[in-house]
Amino acid sequence: MMQFVARAWAFVAPDYAGPGTTGRDEFLNKTAETNDVIDAVRATRQAHADLSHRWVLRGHSQGRGAALPVSERQAVHPEPGYLCAVVTSPAADLTATVKSVVATPGMGGFIPLIADGAKVTDPRTHLGRVLSARALSELNITETGCLGVVISTYGGLSDTDLARPGYLDEPHFARFLADNSNGRNPVGVPVLLLQGDAVRGHRLTVR
């Protein structure tokens, strides 16, 4: 991003609400992540009134959880000056993503993070019906460890060693995945999606 700074762009990189505080991270909650971005833009303008009113958004991986819903929000509640978004490697369909991750050895660390985010969002989520007993016993690492630590802790778990059979039948967890997926609502700005090794861009229709 320093190449943009060198060209006189202002670069704002907000953290998500929760990490590093006494709060909890609503991991992949797109409403929370959208608010984090909008709040950061507004706070930056208050601190630096001389900045341009125009801004763009770039989100990679988890960052799609901010970039895509902010673009959807723009169609309903426009934020002044928002021009477009560039989104790389988005996990837009969380249900399909979770199924793939559960079945893929070495990727298990993302499941407890997502499950814990669902529990923070909706305390009714019964994690004992989502995670295996072994996965559940290590869950505290999601509150104290960075992504690398979580991935290392859960790296050897997949399939039923990681998730309970029928884990998607837990209604609150299933609702969390559905509610925080993207692609079903129109966006209010142009969005460039980049996904996969071929790096082919697809522009979403702006309505």
* 79 and 20 belong to one structural domain: yes
What is the predicted pLDDT for the residue at 143?
82
* 109 and 86 belong to one structural domain: no
Cβ(64)–Cβ(90) below 8 Å = yes
Six-digit token pair at 61?
A: 């991986």
**What is the domain count for the chain?**
2
What is the predicted pLDDT for the residue at 17?
74
* 47 and 18 belong to one structural domain: yes
Chain centroid offset of residue 36 CA: 11
Residue-wise pLDDT for 123-175, tens only, equals 999 999 999 999 999 998 888 888 889 999 998 999 999 999 999 999 999 99
- Please, which residues have CB within 8 angstroms of residue 200's CB and are 6 or more apart in sequence? 194
* 56 and 130 belong to one structural domain: no
* 160 and 105 belong to one structural domain: yes
pLDDT at 105 over 80: yes
* 39 and 58 belong to one structural domain: yes
pLDDT at 200 over 70: no
* 31 and 43 belong to one structural domain: yes
Q: What is the mean pLDDT of residues 55-68?
A: 88
Q: Please report which helix (H) or strand (E) contains residue 178, including its range.
A: helix 171-179
**CATH code for the domain of 44:** 3.40.50.1820
pLDDT at 182 over 90: no
Question: Beta 200-203 vs 82-88: how paired, if at all?
Answer: unpaired
pLDDT more than 90, % of the chain: 62
What is the predicted pLDDT for the residue at 20?
65
Whole-model pTM: value is 0.87
What is the predicted pLDDT for the residue at 160?
95
* 17 and 73 belong to one structural domain: yes
Give the Cα separation of 196 and 88 in Å (integer).
Answer: 9
What is the chain's length? 207
* 115 and 141 belong to one structural domain: yes
Question: Beta 200-203 vs 191-195: how paired, if at all?
Answer: antiparallel
Residue-wise pLDDT for 7-56, tens only, equals 999 989 887 777 666 667 788 999 999 999 999 999 999 999 999 999 99
* 7 and 88 belong to one structural domain: yes
What is the predicted pLDDT for the residue at 207?
47
Range of the domain at 163: 94-178
Position 95, amino acid: T
What is the predicted pLDDT for the residue at 25?
77
Give the Cα separation of 53 and 61 in Å (integer).
Answer: 26
Give the Cα separation of 51 and 47 in Å (integer).
Answer: 9
Q: What is the mean pLDDT of residues 95-99?
A: 95
* 189 and 88 belong to one structural domain: yes
State the average pLDDT for the chain: 89
Chain centroid offset of residue 193 CA: 15
**CATH code for the domain of 149:** 1.10.260
* 81 and 8 belong to one structural domain: yes
